[in-house]
């Protein structure tokens, strides 16, 4: 389960009290869930009323995600309430405070005895089938001595996948820092120009005449978004992604990452549609 603690996201130009209210609901549920406190401490209908009242105020994807997280936490509370009732009925319910006091009062020997008298060891057997034995023999016969295996291992096999950042690409002289910055600047100017009359469609913006160019555009745009120079507005219901220019790093909103898949098939379909249009 996610342990993220919402502390009321500061949103420029938006009223923080709504976020505080939402964050309080999420934190309360998470705290009860973690500490195994009484889940009936959460008044579910009242919290749902609050969420319903706040719903029209949410505009951005982050708002809706936070709202969804609150709903998820409340639904978990309902499950915990159900478990709580089942547990009380099962005879496993006992006041935790009483148990705590008794544990402190009992001697080590008495505690050990209590667990031994409740312990019914498991009976299980390991087995080896003739088929598995045969597999093992085949494997043993085919495997090379470890000294030879180490020798034969190519350098490629030992290298692991990792992410290479811009600074490293520049250091490796794979790209030029100046050229990259110019590209980013051009992309930003194009975005400002295209989104003069409001946010524009993401795909329309990144689509290029070739697949490689489309991927490069998407990559540059992601860089702008990471830097807080562009905002993505994702509507999960209508499945649309809009993009708009932003003021800069200061306006950057909480560290959420969004994966957008650009497959060759998708690019080809988009090009076909663009040609038809």
Smallest separation (angstroms) from other proteins to the CB of 1: 7
Q: Can you tell me which residue has the tokens 């995600």?
A: 65
Nearest CA to 240 among 232, 251, 250?
232
Span near other proteins by CB under 8 A; candidates 66-74, 116-124, 135-143, 251-259 = 116-124
Is residue 167 within the footprint of other proteins (CB under 8 A)?
no
Q: Which of residues 188-247 bind other proteins (CB under 8 A)?
A: none
Q: Cβ closer to other proteins: 126 or 165?
A: 126
- Residue 46 CA to residue 25 CA, distance in Å, equals 11
- Residue 251 CA to residue 231 CA, distance in Å, equals 10
Q: Cβ closer to other proteins: 34 or 235?
A: 34
Query: Residue 37 has which token pair?
Result: 């406190």
Is residue 114 within the footprint of other proteins (CB under 8 A)?
yes
Q: Cβ closer to other proteins: 83 or 134?
A: 83
Is residue 130 within the footprint of other proteins (CB under 8 A)?
no
Is residue 185 within the footprint of other proteins (CB under 8 A)?
no
Query: Residue 49 has which token pair?
Result: 């009323």
How is the beta sheet containing 230-235 ordered, strand by strand?
Answer: 200-201, 240-245, 230-235
Is residue 139 within the footprint of other proteins (CB under 8 A)?
no
Nearest CA to 253 among 72, 66, 67, 17?
66
Query: Residue 127 has which token pair?
Result: 């087995």
Q: Which of 12, 46, 127, 158 binds other proteins (CB under 8 A)?
A: 127
Query: Residue 200 has which token pair?
Result: 């524009």
Is residue 113 within the footprint of other proteins (CB under 8 A)?
yes
Count of residues interacting with other proteins (CB under 8 A): 43
Nearest CA to 257 among 240, 276, 234?
234
- Residue 63 CA to residue 137 CA, distance in Å, equals 59
Q: Which of 117, 141, 157, 263 binds other proteins (CB under 8 A)?
A: 117
**Residues contributing to the site for other proteins (CB under 8 A):** 1, 3, 34-36, 80, 83-84, 86-87, 90-92, 94-96, 98-100, 102-104, 106, 108-127
């Amino acid at each position: 389960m996610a342990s993220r603690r919402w502390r009321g996201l500061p949103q420029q130009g938006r009223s923080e009290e709504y976020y505080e209210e939402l964050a309080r609901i999420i934190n309360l549920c998470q705290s009860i869930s973690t500490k195994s406190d009484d889940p009936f401490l959460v008044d579910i209908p009242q919290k749902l009323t609050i969420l319903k009242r706040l719903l029209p105020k949410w505009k951005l994807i982050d708002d809706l995600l936070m709202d969804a997280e609150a709903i998820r936490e409340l639904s978990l509370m309902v499950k915990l309430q159900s478990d709580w009732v089942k547990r009380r009925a099962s005879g496993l319910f006992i006041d935790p405070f009483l148990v705590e006091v008794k544990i402190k009062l009992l001697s080590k020997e008495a505690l050990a005895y209590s667990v031994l008298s409740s312990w019914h060891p498991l009976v299980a057997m390991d087995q080896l089938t003739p088929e598995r034995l045969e597999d093992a023999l085949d494997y043993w016969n085919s495997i090379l001595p470890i000294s030879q295996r180490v020798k034969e291992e190519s350098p490629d096999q030992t290298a692991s996948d990792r992410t290479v950042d811009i600074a490293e690409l520049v250091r490796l002289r794979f790209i030029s820092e100046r050229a990259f910055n110019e590209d980013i600047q051009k992309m930003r100017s194009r975005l400002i120009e295209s989104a003069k009359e409001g946010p524009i469609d993401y795909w329309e913006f990144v689509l290029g005449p070739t697949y490689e160019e489309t991927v490069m555009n998407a990559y540059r745009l992601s860089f702008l978004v990471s830097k807080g120079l562009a905002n993505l507005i994702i509507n999960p219901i209508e499945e649309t992604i809009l993009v708009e220019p932003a003021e800069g790093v200061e306006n950057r909103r909480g560290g959420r990452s969004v994966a957008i898949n650009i497959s060759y098939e998708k690019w080809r379909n988009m090009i076909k549609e663009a040609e038809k249009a």
